[in-house]
Structure 1
């Protein structure tokens, strides 16, 4: 899917030409281009740009299987801007940790007194992507009456690093009475936590859509060039049926994302993310089935995107979680109007 027609060729030129570039050198290039802060207003220290531009970058990460925390750093910067904290804290790469209500306690140190006192955090946030390889983590804590956003030293709170199926780093953020100076913490509006979650959902779905697009392209090329019994694989009815199914999954995801990007909201974000989770599993499975043995070789690029599909599928929650969030949003008013508006873009 093309989210931003002007940006798409630039993304492909930069990321496509640097898939083998050392992560440090690639990050320096992306920073020079201003991509980590695209979507953050210039007045807040960002590069400007709308959600479509950020989604185009995220899709490029998925399409080219780039191992840099571009999505995560951008989300961290956007959360900091929303809370009125300095975006420059993410300049050297950052992770973002989302703490749902009740998972992390954030409180002022009463001994310090007033609003100038340090903050103290207790709790854990599991599976924080890139936590072990970035200097900064932006913690977003959902509370009943506020969203607490904090700039943390990643090394001070990370558990031993882990590698996921995509061979990307992650870790658990442990906050055992962690003390953070007041100038690195802000209490923002209660709705900010939900807004960050919605943005995470859309951008992760966009990254999945990029990986889905690449997997489908590789598969189409393979079945049209691979000969068996004197004819291409695509001549077989069973193969054509599976390829058609892949196109349907890709197009359904693109349709859901188009709505989520043009009409941002809790329901559209959850719908796009739920569709992305389902499509990720189906596309990864069926593309490997159509490739046969060559699909699992190290030299062939299919595994670079399918391993990301399986890994990203359950980031920030499973498909069931996003479906539940969508259902909660639809039935919140006790009428059919939210569902009708979500499906059609109109009201009854």
Structure 2
């Protein structure tokens, strides 16, 4: 990802994802969300992972990571990273994009297909899931909706009566759907934490108490340093989670990225609201737009418990097989090759 391409995307996001625009897109007042997505999709970045021979940019997941980070940092309400990954998978399977916004989510159910608490599902047109070993592309309008917990007008739990609702099906045993979600969510969370940190730094430099900015108080500086450390580690972990030559992330790296992002997200949100005080929960301040997403991403797809269990089982399996210590596991299984 060259600097010029990333800068162009960030400039467009700055115009399209101003705080008021994000609030409108997450309300049910008008068609603001659809118009916002149409403008985002027209930029062409949503086809970043689609192979060049299929009219895409042909980038790898590692190359596209700065785009996912920028989308999370800007406050884009739609599932941008998921759409980019889904379009690459669908292009490989023979389906060309028609400009749709696509969420990716695991499902459950023996006869009915249920996707719970899908980030951005109320703003998406399609959901890509895997059911009984087959990938299904399901239209959101054909599902029963239950509003999301954290963003009731943007996210939703969806249920389809059967797989007959799918408008496209294909078989692809390579991607792990939870790994796809973990990599995408970790990148979005890392970007959101960068934005929360920037907002907090600006606030403590502007807010006056006892005749000076509260950012000059040592206690506040300590809290901000912890927040910066957590946000930076989440960005580093998310980059590792997206370290792949194609569009399919490594499940262990993606789990490590999501776990670190979840742990960091909880602390970043808590510190940000502590620093802002009561004003942090008001609608006038955009802080809540980002902290709600951090908590939402923490609760969906690969949860902290799932990711920690996956990594723990892998550590014990390696230790039993070779006697290697946990440091060797991190070095051999999680580190990105040069």
TM-score over 0.5 for the pair: yes
Change (3 A) 1:163 1:234: same
Instruction: Please show how residues 1-348 of structure 1 align to structure 2 within 5 Å.
Output: 5-19=3-17, 20-21=20-21, 22-82=32-92, 84-88=93-97, 91-99=99-107, 103-104=108-109, 122-141=112-131, 147-156=133-142, 158-179=143-164, 184-189=168-173, 191-192=174-175, 194=176, 196-262=177-243, 264-333=249-318, 334-335=321-322, 336=324, 337-342=328-333, 344-345=335-336
Change (3 A) 1:58 1:5: same
Following the alignment from structure 1 to structure 2, what is the Cα–Cα distance between the partners of residues 204 and 85?
26
Structure 2 length as normaliser, TM-score? 0.83
Q: Decide which structure has greater strand share.
A: 1
Structure 1 residues not aligned, in runs of 5+: 106-120
If you compute each CA radius of gyration, which structure gives the higher value, 1 or 2?
1
Change (3 A) 1:134 1:301: closer
Q: Tell me if structure 2 keeps the 8 A contact 1:140–1:148.
A: yes
Change (3 A) 1:218 1:258: same
- Give the secondary structure class of the aligned counterpart of 1:286: helix
Q: Tell me if structure 2 keeps the 8 A contact 1:131–1:171.
A: yes
Aligned residues: 316
Q: Tell me if structure 1 keeps the 8 A contact 2:73–2:188.
A: yes
Change (3 A) 1:52 1:305: same
Following the alignment from structure 2 to structure 1, what is the Cα–Cα distance between the partners of residues 291 and 139?
32
How far residue 209 of structure 1 moved from its aligned partner, in angstroms, is: 0.8
How far residue 69 of structure 1 moved from its aligned partner, in angstroms, is: 3.2
Structure 2 residues not aligned, in runs of 5+: 22-31
Following the alignment from structure 1 to structure 2, what is the Cα–Cα distance between the partners of residues 5 and 330?
37
How far residue 124 of structure 1 moved from its aligned partner, in angstroms, is: 2.4
Aligned to 1:110: none
Q: Tell me if structure 2 keeps the 8 A contact 1:125–1:173.
A: yes
Aligned to 1:118: none
How far residue 4 of structure 1 moved from its aligned partner, in angstroms, is: 5.8
RMSD between aligned alpha carbons? 2.7
Following the alignment from structure 2 to structure 1, what is the Cα–Cα distance between the partners of residues 122 and 141?
7
Q: Tell me if structure 1 keeps the 8 A contact 2:253–2:334.
A: no
- Give the secondary structure class of the aligned counterpart of 1:332: helix
Structure 1 length as normaliser, TM-score? 0.81
How far residue 284 of structure 1 moved from its aligned partner, in angstroms, is: 0.6
